[in-house]
Amino acid sequence: MRSSARPLAALLAALTLTAGLFAAGAPASARTGDVAPATQASDVSLAADPYDWKNVRIDGGGFVPGIVFNRSEKNLAYARTDIGGAYRWDQAGKRWTPLLDWVDWDHWGWSGVVSLASDSADPDNVYAAVGTYTNGWDPTNGAVLRSSDRGASWKAATLPFKLGGNMPGRGMGERLAVDPNKNSVLYLGAPSGKGLWRSTDSGVTWSQVTAFPNPGNYAQDPADSSGYGSDNQGIVWVTFDERTGSAGSATKDIYVGVADKANTVYRSTDGGATWSRIAGQPTGYLAHKGVLDSANGYLYLSLSDTGGPYDGGKGRIWRYTTATGAWKDVSPVAEADTYYGFSGLTVDRQHPGTLMATAYSSWWPDTQIFRSTDSGATWTQAWDYSSYPNRTNRFTQDVSSVPWLTWGANPTPPETSPKLGWMTEALEIDPFDSNRMMYGTGATVYGTENLKNWDSGSQFKITPMVKGLEETAVNDLASPPSGAPLLSALGDIGGFRHTDLDAVPGMMFTSPNLTSTTSLDFAESSPSTVVRVGSADAAPHIGFSTDNGSNWFQGSEPSGVTGGGTVAAAADGSGFVWSPEGAGVHRTTGYGSSWSASTGIPAGATVESDRKNPKKFYGYKAGTFYVSTDGGATFAAMASSGLPTEGNVRFKAVPGAEGDVWLAGGSATGAYGLWHSADSGATFTKLSGIEQADSVGFGKAAAGASYQTLFVTAKIGGVRGVFRSTDAGTTWTRINDDAHQWGWIGASITGDPRVYGRVYLSTNGRGIMYGDAPDGTDPGTDPGTDPGNPPGDAACSVTYKVTNQWSGGFQADVTLTNTGTAALDGWKVGWTFADGQKVSQMWNATPAQDGAKVTAASISWNGKVAPGASVGFGFTGTLTGGNTVPAAFTLGDEACSTG
């Protein structure tokens, strides 16, 4: 059971991307610049119809290395993930709100969050240090993002080095910190030998603290030639002693943790001008956390012999008395009894002297959580052995809201199912509520709201506190014509049969349990037949289902298989073709009781099936397309030319039409785009006007259309996004917007064969997104007129939706639909606020406000709106009283109907 660490997947993604840097300080709510993307000449017609997007619910699924509570405002908390962005806690809904969905394709690495900081002097301010890899897998430098509206909108300061949200050591921290006395001052601990950095203008500009003496020297694996394990983990946390400053003046005493086993903690007593190693500190360990209990002047260190998050064989907890300089080992257990390191560390701000810590790397039989109420003099632990292997727990655990957290396991004691967790590096007691504690694991966020039961001798209750936080990396998606609407192939947790998109599935695929599913397929004319392949510690790497993925059985596999690769099912389920890692392409009839090698196709080729002819299969590798007409026994190379020879390439055959194939992929240094073949790959035609494309899928045809709806992730007209075509690729409509980009989305896309317009989209860390047209109508049908909402004077309709609201502010999305027969060429939407609201920042439109009257005008790239198409924009605003939704809207000087 691993976290969302997918360096290989990220490397493959990086090889297909072109990098560009945002200007430091540019606004970043939907894009990080005021300048719209350059429009390029195209012979395709391009419209906009932003969808309503939601997550297919899984709840969690990846590593949560950091949780941060604001110290001055109750219920304000944030969580960071290693590849899936940052989140803010919504107390009313008991859920997490994603904050970085605007991160675009070229800056996909900014979805990795290495640190968060919430400003206790001004709780509206929040900062995020972003960047996924410090080696060549991520082509983009890191950045510090800053927000003055709790993450509703952002500005970016690009750094002259990379950050590593998914690198070794990512559970240490927090590397980013705001001076609690002078909040214009921030510090950032950098990796890769870049040292300590400081901003004195609230994160707008950054400079290196040249006086800081030690950039760190610890690397997980110095011999790793990829640069992943060999990177210096650097400066890993910054902690202020707020007692040594006053409001408006910089804090004097600052503590910094360094990845150096001989010199792991430094201090400044003059506001960062000079620094020195603290004498007497523990050696032989790395300080994962440094937490100051300012009420009694103790600095606590959680120490491990490695940087984590997976490894760690020894650990200690030490206490430093800031007034006297005395050090004391206050570890819960003797060093000889540890087989793990300590990382998670928190103090109870309501009860000085109460602290907790985690044994983050205790994988078996479970993680351990320790608690002290006397400043570390004595400890109790979450579970003890009664008589081995039986355990006595101080807690109960209820995962009924996320039942798959049991992994379908029935382990032998002392293991239990579910577990308390693993990789438990984030641990925080709510500074306003001693009963609430949250902690992150490699798969979820757990928490309790009756923690004080621990001290009274009764059990406290642990439940998932992860709703809204979706952190899976998605490798493949399939939407059968009957049965469950969606089947998923996921990294780390295998995948699911999704019978209800808005409900958490009961269990991931089991029998076999694959740690990561790399590919899945169903038989087009017999959708109950499903196959999946993936990674596993040992054979098997393949499973079959005859009931649409409800139940599974293991298949045998060819000799030499080391990983899942890709797999295809015959249209009628009579056979399968598999291209696994470690072995060449093979075929089987039945359900994999025996396999025979396919000929005429190279090892490592991607395989797919024709969706009508059960004897026909396809393959692709390095610019050559292959076809088999005998069930995969033999393949022949096609003479088609001009296809991509490098980069990621994905292709699919259209259901119900033999030989109809679409191929997407390539690289910026070679052929790149979207190709179509109507003759089983004998010839391919490249679609003009599509500069780049990375995945393609099909959905239900529009009413009156003779061809299935196409969906692609692509770059069209100079704009990166998700696109739909209802006329076989002649015209395209962008269906996402700049606020919904999700970084790298190239792995898989598919429409729904039963619901027109619905699309399922993979992300690399934000789970599965699904989108529906905002009005839910088929463009080939007449939706009629709502008699309670008569049409306005202009041929337009406006929908206005408040998507988020907090004390003193809110966020809203607005959609303008052209209901006329002529295209709009430039537009200006107007409305009047009833409660004195003020627009703070707007994206995808230019705002103007005069008193209560507001207008939003088109910008250069979205002014043309075709008949029936829509365009969206959004904004953040301030409020002092109510937030009544505007009752009427205008286009120019004429009234629009309201949606």
SS3 of residue 292 by DSSP: strand
DSSP string, 298-345: EEEEEEESS--SS----EEEEEEETTTTEEEE--SS-GGG-SS-EEEE
610 among known catalytic residues: no
Token pair 């945002």 in the structure block, residue: 22
Neighbours of 622 (CB within 10 A): 12
SS3 of residue 358 by DSSP: strand
Neighbours of 321 (CB within 10 A): 14
476 among known catalytic residues: no
SS3 of residue 406 by DSSP: helix
* CB neighbour list of residue 559: distance below 8 Å, 6 or more residues apart: 583
CA 695 – CA 478 distance, rounded (Å): 13
Output the six-digit token pair for 24.
């430091």
* CB neighbour list of residue 409: distance below 8 Å, 6 or more residues apart: 415, 417
DSSP string, 231-263: S---EEEEEE-GGG--TTS--S-EEEEES-TTS
Choosing from 49, 59, 82, 253, which is the catalytic residue? 82
Using a 10 angstrom Cβ sphere, with 0-12 exposed, 13-18 middle and 19 or more buried, the burial of residue 589 is middle
SS (H, E, C) 9-70: HHHHHHHCCCCCCCCCCEECCCCCCCCCCCCCCCCCEEEECCCEEEECCCCECCCCCEEEEC
- State the pairing for strand pair 437-440/624-628: unpaired
Choosing from 59, 179, 253, 492, which is the catalytic residue? 492
132, 109 contact by CB (below 8 A): yes
642, 671 contact by CB (below 8 A): yes
561, 622 contact by CB (below 8 A): no
421, 464 contact by CB (below 8 A): no
CA 595 – CA 576 distance, rounded (Å): 10
Per-residue buried b or exposed e for 401-431, using 16+ beta carbons within 10 Å of the residue's own CB: ebebbbbeeeeeeeebebbbbbbbbbbbbbb
643, 655 contact by CB (below 8 A): no
318, 294 contact by CB (below 8 A): no
Nearest to 670 by CA among 649, 652, 640, 688: 649
- State the pairing for strand pair 769-772/759-761: antiparallel
Please tell me what DSSP assigns to residue 349.
T
How many residues does this entry show for the chain? 899
**Which residues form the catalytic set?**
82, 492
